[in-house]
Structure 1
Amino acid sequence: MKRIFWIALIQIVLLLGFTLDVNARERRSFYSGIRCQAMGGACIAVVNDETALLVNPAGLGKLRDIYGTIFDPEIESNTNANDMYADSAYSNPFNLSDVKPALDANRGSYYHAKAQLFPSIVGRNFGIGIYGNSLLDAQMSADGTTIDTYYRSDLAAVLGFNFRFFDGRIKLGVNTKLIDRVEVDNTALSSSGSLEYKDIANSGLGLSTDVGLILSAPWTFLPTVSAVLRDIGGTSFNQGSGFRMSTTGRPNVVSQDLDVAAALFPIHSNYVRSTWTVEYRGLLTTADEPDKAKLLHAGIELNLGDVFFVRAGYNQRYWTAGLELASERFQWQLASYGEEIGTVDTPKEDRRYSLKFAYRF
């Protein structure tokens, strides 16, 4: 058993290390939280809070107590969005019509804004929550005639379970998500036509399932390997037109995919622990991604008494960092990370900043 575990761990590390080949559009996941982004986007082997419901349902097996998250807004923008607002203020950062004057004043600049909320109740091996997000990425062409636009608004009910085997050394989790999605995905949207989402968006209901696995060895540093099979069978949004908007077109189908990761958890003293992890995303769709650097993630976390956390990582060629201050009821988190938005021949970093506050009971 021990020999098999180490062979699996070595194979994952080798896979991560030797698939770095050097689609301009960035890769977007259903959920990406601030802790993950601070740690280079690597999280499926280390998640141990309510976000396990979305990130890796097997992580529900790491929880010790039942608790609820009442209010946990997370907001994010890139450097360009702040500069654009200074040039032309907008009232709604997710409304393309409102943002258009700022895009026009900064042609060729990439705009990014995101906000999400995830009230939930979780305990060991079980969780339920409501997830909502809004995301807008946009860039106006140099001549001002078109806007490369990606907009997404999700409202999802999430239910997750986990099963523990061999005293928790093996954790097998599954989640189900009912997703109401509104989406615009148009690389050449006319800037002179209507920019109202009721005219340009697609909407629909989708039912999605993920299965996660965590294998942990009871040895020094608790070596762990993990995998999550996402959107089993593919997720389409043809279950209906959606609760919030009715359109004839449907959002893009999400292909089934597989993420794999490895992690270590050293204990340095009674009050100091650390986490080290590497992760490779999109194992089943890697052939569709020319730039393999977009799939590689790595991160570390220093835990000081479960109160103060320092994080850093590597995300798609670029550095990431973050801080957290936590108490029994409150949680503050900050993060910055670089996202790859360039092409294979000309990589380009988009620097982003995130802030999260959470209140729990």
Structure 2
Amino acid sequence: MSKKGTVVLAGLMTLLAGPISLAAESISTTIHHSYQAPRALGMGDAFVAVANDYTAMFYNPAGLARREDGQINMSMSFAGTPGVMDFYNEFSEIESSGQSESDKTQAILQLIDDHYGESMQFRLQPLEGVWVRPNWGIALIPADVSLDFAMHRQVGPAIDTTLYADTTLALSYADDIKSVSHGRLSVGITGKFVNRAFFSKSVAASDFASQDEVIQTSDLLEGYTLDADIGALWTPELPDSGMWSVLRLARPTFGAVVRNVGEVGFGQSLGLINKETQNDTPEKLYRVVDLGSRWEYPSMWIFGGRGVLDIRDINHPEFSWRKGLHLGFEFDWTMTSWWKGHYRFGMSQGFWTAGLSAELGIFNLDLVSYADDVGTRNTPVESRFYATKLSLDF
């Protein structure tokens, strides 16, 4: 496998070194979420008012106040658009064709031109460790690498390239507010240390074709930040009779989270990847507000489930009502305590989502398909992902 092929397939650009001509900033209209879970993604990425597993640390830390037992999760996950593999296979054929360098360069320029307008994305999280208990949790994500390619030809064939490579350590605490009457109110906070390597440039196709090594570490912006998410969950106490008693069966719960309350940016660097002096900083964690609701179905035999509706990323620069709307449904089935599963579907950013989970003892498998809107406010464009996550759950 060539070095360029490795870049296209894996996106681990932080490990590469070599000169390249960099043009203007990459144009990206997507909303990048620092953490995503397949379970939530399958149900439209609407999880603010659910938050009843270990991922509550990142979706709504208030959910930890409602845990009755502990959970340790060790996992790895992969997500990508089908176009990534198609582009890589075509690229590999050119690289191994035995043509002259000039012919290869021309072929790669034509390849990029042929994929004009396409968006290709890849996300790899080789390890995630989370330990939650009633009221608290701790998580370590050593590497969460996300790479976006968008083909365009504003001047000549070029690739808008955006890379996020995050290392995250998080601590959470949550509890109930005892003085609240007419319901249960839980609040929680997740403090986060995030070290980010970031790259966002429009790379000329001629440079991409002519260089064996695509990017050097000095091109990566690096920094760390300390920030926090603050969340709340409220389950109202509904009367046994009267107009509101019908809703009692659905056990509605409402949630709210303010993410990255400090929004202090990545102004300091540990120099873990790029040890050179930098004049700029990585894209910051934006302060946004997420609102959500959850409605439970009546349990029947081995089945149960819930419906969810969220408005997410309020205050993000790329927020729109289309991108902010998330809704979904989840159906549970339980044979025994060690054999269970879930089916999900929903809508996220205007596009369908679907997923399933299978739990057999400590082994968990999650499969999901979802999409990001990579278009403009007036012209939505679907970038379809397929993702899998393998977990050990104790």
TM-score (norm 2): 0.77
Q: Is the 8 A contact 1:181 1:242 kept in 2?
A: no
**Structure 1 position 173 matched with structure 2 position 206:** no
Q: Is the 8 A contact 2:218 2:274 kept in 1?
A: no
Q: Is 232-241 or 76-85 further displaced after alignment? A: 232-241
Q: Which residue of 1 aligns with 2:150?
A: 139
RMSD value over aligned CA atoms?
A: 2.4
Q: Is the 8 A contact 1:161 1:174 kept in 2?
A: yes
Instruction: After TM superposition, give the deviation of residue 225 of structure 1 in Å.
Output: 0.7
Q: Which residue of 1 aligns with 2:229?
A: 210
SS in structure 1 at match of 2:313: coil
Unaligned runs of 5+ in 2: 1-26, 94-107, 238-247
Q: What is the alpha-carbon distance in structure 2 between the residues aligned to residue 104 and residue 62 of structure 1?
A: 53
Matched letter for residue 333 of structure 1: D
Instruction: After TM superposition, give the deviation of residue 56 of structure 1 in Å.
Output: 1.2
Instruction: After TM superposition, give the deviation of residue 266 of structure 1 in Å.
Output: 2.0
- Alpha carbons of 1:110 and 1:284: their partners in 2 closer, same or farther (altered >3 Å)? closer
SS in structure 2 at match of 1:169: strand
Q: Which residue of 1 aligns with 2:89?
A: 86
Q: Is the 8 A contact 1:265 1:274 kept in 2?
A: yes
Q: What is the alpha-carbon distance in structure 2 between the residues aligned to residue 331 and residue 310 of structure 1?
A: 14
Q: 2:261 aligns with which of 226, 232, 237?
A: 232
Q: 2:371 aligns with which of 338, 341, 346?
A: 338
Write out per-residue CA displacement over residues 310-358 of structure 1, whole angstroms, 9 at most, x where no aligned residue. 0000111111101110133111010111221112332211111010110
Q: Which residue of 2 aligns with 1:223?
A: 252
Q: 1:328 aligns with which of 361, 364, 386?
A: 361
Q: Is the 8 A contact 2:313 2:319 kept in 1?
A: no
Q: Which residue of 2 aligns with 1:5?
A: none
SS in structure 1 at match of 2:122: strand
Identical-residue share of aligned pairs (%): 26
Trace 1:1-361 onto structure 2 (pairs within 5 A). Answer: 25-70=29-74, 72-89=75-92, 103=112, 106-116=115-125, 117-131=127-141, 132-142=143-153, 145-166=157-178, 169-186=184-201, 188-191=202-205, 192=207, 195-218=214-237, 219-247=248-276, 248=278, 249-285=280-316, 288-289=317-318, 291-305=320-334, 307-361=340-394
Write out per-residue CA displacement over residues 72-131 of structure 1, whole angstroms, 9 at most, x where no aligned residue. 1110001211221231249xxxxxxxxx88757634321100012321211111111101
Instruction: After TM superposition, give the deviation of residue 290 of structure 1 in Å.
Output: 6.7
Write out per-residue CA displacement over residues 193-251 of structure 1, whole angstroms, 9 at most, x where no aligned residue. 77314132100011110001000124322111100001112131123244333341321
Matched letter for residue 343 of structure 1: T
Q: Is the 8 A contact 1:151 1:184 kept in 2?
A: yes
Instruction: After TM superposition, give the deviation of residue 63 of structure 1 in Å.
Output: 2.3
Instruction: After TM superposition, give the deviation of residue 261 of structure 1 in Å.
Output: 0.7
Unaligned runs of 5+ in 1: 1-22, 91-99
TM-score (norm 1): 0.83
Q: What is the alpha-carbon distance in structure 1 between the residues aligned to residue 83 and residue 264 of structure 2?
A: 32
Q: What is the alpha-carbon distance in structure 1 between the residues aligned to residue 172 and residue 92 of structure 2?
A: 41
Instruction: After TM superposition, give the deviation of residue 270 of structure 1 in Å.
Output: 4.5
Write out per-residue CA displacement over residues 36-88 of structure 1, whole angstroms, 9 at most, x where no aligned residue. 11111111111211111111111212322112123x11100012112212312
Q: What is the alpha-carbon distance in structure 2 between the residues aligned to residue 284 and residue 291 of structure 1?
A: 9
Matched letter for residue 263 of structure 1: R
Between the two proteins, the alignment pairs up a number of residues equal to 326
Instruction: After TM superposition, give the deviation of residue 292 of structure 1 in Å.
Output: 2.3
Write out per-residue CA displacement over residues 155-187 of structure 1, whole angstroms, 9 at most, x where no aligned residue. 11111111123498211010111111001123x
Q: What is the alpha-carbon distance in structure 2 between the residues aligned to residue 88 and residue 210 of structure 1?
A: 42
Write out per-residue CA displacement over residues 284-316 of structure 1, whole angstroms, 9 at most, x where no aligned residue. 34xx44742011100110001171100000111
- Alpha carbons of 1:239 and 1:270: their partners in 2 closer, same or farther (altered >3 Å)? farther
Matched letter for residue 337 of structure 1: Y
